[in-house]
Amino acid sequence: MSNTQPRRAWARRLAALVSAALLVPLAACGGGSAASSGDGERVTLKLADPGNNGLLAYAKKTGVLEEELDEVGADVEWGGSFASFTATIDALRSGDVNVLEGAISPVIGYLAENDDLRIFSVADRTTDPQAPIGDGLVVPGDSDIETIDEVIGRKVAVNRGGRGEYLLLKALDQAGIDHDEVERVYLNPQDAAGALASGSVDAWWAIVRGYPAAVANGARTIVTNTDVDDDDLNMFAAREEIVEANPEALRTFQRVLAELAEEAREEPEKFQNVFQDSGPAAVEGDALKRDIEVQRYTQPQRLVTDDDLATVQAVADYFADNGLVSTRIDAAAAVTHLGADE
């Protein structure tokens, strides 16, 4: 590749920027009182550390989750930091994390090999055209790729069995391109950023914080999640033992987050830089402005209903039909109904 030295410098900047961004989690996103009446066991909701931004960061700082959950027989334990859902898999398997946020797609990938996780809440997709784009297929600024058709025969980085791979295949379908005409390279977000910048891959379907970080550092967008048929909702899931031991704790968790999301629509600024407004954990400038708008337009979490089963099943079937998982998942077994209409 020409201009080797500038490209290497860009590679270092992009990899560093994306790695830093991914360490700042972003929320992408009741019934009766069973536990308080003695019907539920006391449990501990083990959550990944929320970082410096978002609803969970604000909840951690204010203690609102601990206060509300104590009333229904539950405690909160804040754990380590993870860049994505897939990065929490080992912690989930070990039980160090038992409630987590992500998209439907990686849950399907997890459930293909495990049966101890249940989706209990989802957030409707943000459709307001003023909301920032969440995910997209990006290429280096000096790439000759201009359209999705031009990724044929190229290497594209995706997170295996997750939202990036799901959206890439959806985009290829829409363009009439066979999946095997593109070489998928499975990388975690930090490694994908470096691979794109160095030229090891030609494109990257960047998700969550990786996408704006890449664009801010000069990457060009070819197609985004808004351009494809995307059923992959943001959700929260819990390990089965929590669902069975104290479902009221999960109802309360969802209610608190939904209330905070409504509050954030009016005052999104106070959910940014919650613990630190300067230093490596703080977000500044255009990135901060973007995060404020993301928070403003984020839909609140709601408990899963029967209507959501079709959406979960559509994602599960797509994974099975396209060989992303070896086991076909039944949506009814992947979710738990905690609503009043249960």
DSSP 209-221: THHHHHHHTTPEE
Question: Do 125 and 189 fall within a single domain?
Answer: no
Question: Do 117 and 248 fall within a single domain?
Answer: yes
Distance CA 34, CA 73 (A): 9
List, in order, residues 6 or more apart from 340 with CB less than 8 Å away: 31
Q: How confident is the model at residue 251 (pLDDT cuts 50, 70, 90)?
A: very high
Residue given tokens 């995706």 in the structure block: 158
H or E stretch covering 44: strand 43-47
Distance CA 99, CA 250 (A): 9
Question: Do 219 and 265 fall within a single domain?
Answer: no
Question: Do 222 and 246 fall within a single domain?
Answer: no
3-state class (DSSP) for residue 259:
helix
Confidence at residue 15, expressed as pLDDT on a 0 to 100 scale: 53
Question: Do 279 and 319 fall within a single domain?
Answer: yes
Question: Do 239 and 124 fall within a single domain?
Answer: yes
CATH of the domain at 202: 3.40.190.10
Report, as an integer, the average pLDDT of 225-239. Answer: 94
Report, as an integer, the average pLDDT of 240-268. Answer: 98
Whether pLDDT at 208 is above 90? no
Question: Do 134 and 108 fall within a single domain?
Answer: no
Report, as an integer, the average pLDDT of 252-267. Answer: 98
Token reading at 6: 């500038």
List, in order, residues 6 or more apart from 320 with CB less than 8 Å away: 327, 328, 329
Specify the number of domains making up the chain.
Answer: 2
Confidence at residue 88, expressed as pLDDT on a 0 to 100 scale: 84
Report, as an integer, the average pLDDT of 125-143. Answer: 94
Report, as an integer, the average pLDDT of 125-131. Answer: 91
Global confidence as pTM: 0.85
Confidence at residue 83, expressed as pLDDT on a 0 to 100 scale: 67
> Quick check: is 148 in a domain?
yes
Identify which has the larger pLDDT, 119 or 340. 119
Phi-psi region of 18 (alpha: psi -120 to 50; beta: other; left: phi over 0): alpha
Token reading at 2: 């020409």
Q: How confident is the model at residue 18 (pLDDT cuts 50, 70, 90)?
A: low
Report, as an integer, the average pLDDT of 62-78. Answer: 98
Whether pLDDT at 1 is above 50? no
Question: Do 251 and 289 fall within a single domain?
Answer: yes
Whether pLDDT at 53 is above 50? yes
Whether pLDDT at 85 is above 80? no
Q: 248 with 31: CB under 8 angstroms?
A: yes
Report, as an integer, the average pLDDT of 120-133. Answer: 94
Confidence at residue 30, expressed as pLDDT on a 0 to 100 scale: 33
Identify which has the larger pLDDT, 134 or 14. 134
Give the percent of the chain with pLDDT over 70: 87
Question: Do 265 and 124 fall within a single domain?
Answer: yes
Whether pLDDT at 256 is above 50? yes
> Quick check: is 87 in a domain?
yes
Work out the mean pLDDT of the chain and round it to a whole number: 89
**Domain span including residue 151:** 130-227
Q: How confident is the model at residue 124 (pLDDT cuts 50, 70, 90)?
A: very high
Token reading at 331: 């949506």
Give the percent of the chain with pLDDT over 90: 78
Question: Do 242 and 114 fall within a single domain?
Answer: yes
* Exposed e or buried b per residue across 100-115, where buried means at least 16 C-beta atoms within 10 angstroms of its C-beta: bbbbbbbbbbbbbeee
Question: Do 63 and 150 fall within a single domain?
Answer: no
> What is the identity of the amino acid at 186?
Y
Last residue of a domain, one of 201, 227, 253: 227
> Quick check: is 37 in a domain?
no
* Exposed e or buried b per residue across 182-199, where buried means at least 16 C-beta atoms within 10 angstroms of its C-beta: bebbebbbbbbbbbbbbb
Distance CA 139, CA 157 (A): 10
Question: Do 143 and 125 fall within a single domain?
Answer: no
> Quick check: is 35 in a domain?
no
Confidence at residue 154, expressed as pLDDT on a 0 to 100 scale: 98
Whether pLDDT at 8 is above 80? no
